[in-house]
Chain A
Amino acid sequence: MSTKRDHLDRPIVVVTGAGVVSSLGKGKDENWVRLTAGESGIHRINRFGIDGLRTTVAGTVDFMDLDGQSAPALSYALAETAGVEALQQSGIENGTFPGPLFLASPPVEMEWSHRFEMDGEIELGEAQGYTRLLEAARAKKHEDWFDLFQFGRTADKLSEKFGTRGLPVSLSTACASGTTAIQMGVEAIRRGETDAALCIGTDGSVTIEALIRFSLLSALTTQNDNPEKAAKPFSKDRDGFVMAEGAGALVLESLDNAEARGAEILAVIAGCGEKADHFHRTRSSPDGSPVIAAVSRALEDAGSSPTDIGYINAHGTSTPENDRMEYNSLKEVFGDRIHQIPISSNKSMIGHTLTAAGAIEAVFSVLTLQKGVIPPTINYDTPDPDIPLDVVPNEARELQVTSILSNSFGFGGQNACLVLNKEIG
């Protein structure tokens, strides 16, 4: 039983390990150096032919060693790499993790290369399309592909690798998924079900079809000429997000458990807030009330007031609507003080890592608390006069911060926020 408790008499939840992979590199060190130098990981796509695509830039991760390129294979590899780094830092051995796994992972689908290959496996007959592929499936077992395309398989494999306990949870709250994974870990520890939880967000799903899907919803930037300049959150000329890949992992523990192990405490997850929106499938309520509620609940859950927050890690996707909505909602919660709080978007450098974003941004927030440096919002050359925020433009800033708000919003009315603190209590 936990004895150290928070303002609502719940176990205090701390971070004892963190790991990250993004288009900037593998691991916290490389990412942090490049992130605080204001470097971009966005580049021209070379994974597949880009002729005819409206968007030809992305933050793909192209340096992983894969046995065949596919979204599930890459998502697994990214998650495993981030997880190994987080466990290593926490001092918990792979294979014996003393708690559950909460994995934010992209929905799994069979890919075109596999459809094409199956289509060529049997003699041409009358049946076409999926009826034909079913014939091919009856003719020969495709065990490896079956494995690859089960929704639960990424979490299963990670659970086996790390030895997490119980049934692993694979979850999706769209672009808020990484934050939800952390939130679920916090909740499980607060319920007293476990002393530790491994929370990972991963996304390796940049494919032709994924790009086209977002393009058809007009969500992506079409500023292809200069890839490194394409993501420009809070700028007047922002016109959409840049798809990207990566993974973030956190080892969460009750404070008691961490102290009993003598583990180094990196940060405290002091509060989580969530509120769903019923306005529209892709757009937020015009009055911002669900986002306002999610932010307010995270502060309340942490026992914090708006004046406690020293830095905001924005959702900041670089879409016209998100950035405006995020500002308007924050202004409601923080009042005029919002114009003095530094707020930056990691997505200006690593793009929008979708399912992984909340987890990666939480890892970067932990690093900001530890190192006293706020990563910048790069490509901030033309401020949007309607969003008069201190976006930490273009250059990192040294500042000791004790409390951070991290925002994540997603399609389907998903809004989730975290408050991360440097100190306990």
Chain B
Amino acid sequence: MTQSNIPVWITGLGLLSSLGEGPDAHWEALQGGKPLNVDLERFAPYPVHALQEPDWATQISRRDMRQMEPWQQIGTYAAGLALDDANAKDEELCGRMDMIVAAGGGERDVEVDTAIMQGARETNDRDALLTERLSNDLRPTLFLAQLSNLLAGNISIVHKVTGSSRTFMGEEGAGISAIQTAAARIASGQSDIVLVGGAYNAERADMMLIFELGQYMTKSAKPIWSRTGEDAGFAVGSVGAFLVLESEAHAKARGVTPYAKLRGVVADHGSRSDGEAAKRMDGAIDCLPVSEKTAILSGATGCDGITAEESAFLMKHLPGSPVRGYGTILGHSLEAHFPMGVAMAALAMKHNHFYPPFEPAEQATDDAPKNILVSTFGHYRSEGLALVETVDA
């Protein structure tokens, strides 16, 4: 018999971002009073929430560091933090731990590419130029630092997580599907424990280009709810966000203290015309037991139209609930964005306290939340909601 509805506990968080590393540093920084780590110069006119570099050697050997591009380093580091936090760095346990990683990839050798673009202006045989330059100038192992599934591969190598290993691609939707699938595996008894999360390196002009093709990047440092007209768009942020999800029984047997319970995840995608994203989620949110005591962490991007739609959707269903748009603080982190929101929700549930406003447009609250709804309407496609609550609920 397929079991279902086994409680899904969140027992470890691995966070690395512009705010620093680890749950404590994030909790403190998110209490306010600290300036945001936004770099306005380096990629001007685009603001970037730049990574606060950790002491990499605490999680990754120098030899392994050299095999990775930064997005893999961020993810592998954050995954290691999550395993430590869940007290799960154990050979036997990691050997049967399942893993789902939400990843993009494709970081380029910018120098090589720049030289090729320059050379191409002076030749009629671009194929020959490409063959000549790429064959001679590309680092042989660069490919492995570009492949989407090699973040998971690196986590296997560095942290020995080797149950199953799946990589989901597809911007925000990849992170939503990763959390949803990991939770479904545990709830049904297909997995006892899953390492799930994503990583995004914001500090790359080649990666920004992919989004700026559609002019989705903001050139403003305004908070997300105030980005309208010319200012609409997202500011990218470097984020590594991994969670250890575990069945209640498995966590109890290991004697670990959970942060919170992941009550449910709903997701969909489809046309974005005429408020259809909100209509899809109107039906989906009914599957989650939200109430007037529910607080909201929104992964809204700041992009034109869809952010207003997400905001209106949240106001309609939870009119009195405090909303925090975490993109204002952390920037937008694509594949890692939804996992980061779920991790932030778990952290707040553990502290039995919600976050202070991240910008003036948000209302303060002193009430301890009954549960927290994490919402992400992707910049272009994909919508997801997760409900995080205390383990006693």
- Find out whether the CB atom of A9 lies under 8 angstroms from the CB atom of B2: yes
Known: A130-B113, A173-B149. Is A208-B167 also a contact (CB below 8 A)? no
Q: Nearest B residue to A211 by beta-carbon distance?
A: B131
* Shortest Cβ distance from residue B362 to the other chain A in the assembled complex, whole angstroms: 28
- Find out whether the CB atom of B157 lies under 8 angstroms from the CB atom of A142: no
Q: How far is the CA of A202 from the CA of B163 in the complex (A)?
A: 25
Stretch at the interface among B26-34, B119-127, B317-325: B119-127
* Shortest Cβ distance from residue B389 to the other chain A in the assembled complex, whole angstroms: 22
Can you list 24 A-B pairs with a CB-CB distance of less than 8 A?
Answer: A49-B131, A54-B135, A109-B146, A116-B120, A130-B205, A130-B206, A134-B212, A137-B212, A137-B215, A146-B213, A149-B213, A151-B148, A167-B177, A168-B173, A170-B174, A171-B167, A217-B141, A276-B156, A278-B160, A281-B157, A410-B149, A413-B156, A414-B149, A414-B165
Report if A125 contacts B (CB, 8 A): no
Report if B220 contacts A (CB, 8 A): no
* Shortest Cβ distance from residue B283 to the other chain A in the assembled complex, whole angstroms: 12
- Find out whether the CB atom of A152 lies under 8 angstroms from the CB atom of B382: yes
A contact set with B: CB distance below 8 Å: 9-11, 48-49, 51-54, 105, 107-110, 112, 115-116, 119-120, 128-134, 137-138, 141-143, 145-147, 149-153, 155-156, 159-160, 166-174, 177, 180, 184, 187-188, 190-193, 208-209, 212-217, 274-282, 290, 410-414
- Find out whether the CB atom of A151 lies under 8 angstroms from the CB atom of B2: no
* Shortest Cβ distance from residue A209 to the other chain B in the assembled complex, whole angstroms: 6
* Shortest Cβ distance from residue B298 to the other chain A in the assembled complex, whole angstroms: 18
- Residue of B1, B4, B169 near A107 (CB, 8 A) is B169
Q: Chain A residues with Cβ under 8 A from B271's Cβ? A: 160
Q: How far is the CA of A149 from the CA of B132 in the complex (A)?
A: 25
- Find out whether the CB atom of A151 lies under 8 angstroms from the CB atom of B143: no
Q: Chain A residues with Cβ under 8 A from B214's Cβ? A: 141-143, 146-147
Report if B228 contacts A (CB, 8 A): no
- Find out whether the CB atom of A172 lies under 8 angstroms from the CB atom of B156: no
Q: How far is the CA of A132 from the CA of B167 in the complex (A)?
A: 32
- Residue of A11, A110, A171, A282 near B2 (CB, 8 A) is A11
* Shortest Cβ distance from residue B263 to the other chain A in the assembled complex, whole angstroms: 17
Q: How far is the CA of A193 from the CA of B180 in the complex (A)?
A: 12
- Residue of B128, B142, B162 near A51 (CB, 8 A) is B128
Report if B384 contacts A (CB, 8 A): yes
Interface range on chain B (Cβ under 8 Å from partner): 35 or more
Q: Nearest B residue to A191 by beta-carbon distance?
A: B188
- Find out whether the CB atom of A193 lies under 8 angstroms from the CB atom of B131: no
Q: Nearest B residue to A209 by beta-carbon distance?
A: B134
Q: How far is the CA of A141 from the CA of B233 in the complex (A)?
A: 14
Question: With contacts A130-B205, A146-B216 known, what are 4 further pairs, Cβ within 8 A?
Answer: A134-B209, A151-B148, A167-B382, A209-B130
Report if B363 contacts A (CB, 8 A): no
* Shortest Cβ distance from residue A332 to the other chain B in the assembled complex, whole angstroms: 18
Known: A152-B174, A152-B382, A172-B149. Is A116-B135 also a contact (CB below 8 A)? no
B1-16 interface code vs A (CB 8 A; 1 in, 0 out) = 1101000000000000
Q: How far is the CA of A214 from the CA of B2 in the complex (A)?
A: 42
Report if B99 contacts A (CB, 8 A): yes
Closest 6 CB pairs of A and B: A152-B170, A412-B153, A129-B114, A146-B214, A49-B127, A130-B205
Stretch at the interface among B78-86, B104-112, B286-294: B104-112
- Find out whether the CB atom of B2 lies under 8 angstroms from the CB atom of A191: yes
Q: Nearest B residue to A151 by beta-carbon distance?
A: B169
- Find out whether the CB atom of A150 lies under 8 angstroms from the CB atom of B171: yes
Q: How far is the CA of A233 from the CA of B268 in the complex (A)?
A: 43
Q: Nearest B residue to A119 by beta-carbon distance?
A: B117
B56-100 interface code vs A (CB 8 A; 1 in, 0 out) = 000000000001000000000000000000000000000000010
Q: Nearest B residue to A163 by beta-carbon distance?
A: B270
- Find out whether the CB atom of A119 lies under 8 angstroms from the CB atom of B4: no
* Shortest Cβ distance from residue B195 to the other chain A in the assembled complex, whole angstroms: 11
Q: Nearest B residue to A180 by beta-carbon distance?
A: B166
- Find out whether the CB atom of B162 lies under 8 angstroms from the CB atom of A276: yes
Q: Chain A residues with Cβ under 8 A from B143's Cβ? A: 213-214, 216-217
Q: Nearest A residue to B145 by beta-carbon distance?
A: A281
* Shortest Cβ distance from residue A84 to the other chain B in the assembled complex, whole angstroms: 20
Q: Chain A residues with Cβ under 8 A from B176's Cβ? A: 167
- Find out whether the CB atom of A276 lies under 8 angstroms from the CB atom of B161: yes
Q: How far is the CA of A149 from the CA of B269 in the complex (A)?
A: 18
- Residue of B118, B140, B165, B205 near A134 (CB, 8 A) is B205
- Find out whether the CB atom of B2 lies under 8 angstroms from the CB atom of A128: no
Report if B225 contacts A (CB, 8 A): no
Q: How far is the CA of A215 from the CA of B140 in the complex (A)?
A: 9
- Find out whether the CB atom of B110 lies under 8 angstroms from the CB atom of A151: no
Q: How far is the CA of A156 from the CA of B107 in the complex (A)?
A: 23
- Residue of A129, A134, A152, A412 near B110 (CB, 8 A) is A129
* Shortest Cβ distance from residue B56 to the other chain A in the assembled complex, whole angstroms: 18
* Shortest Cβ distance from residue B69 to the other chain A in the assembled complex, whole angstroms: 13
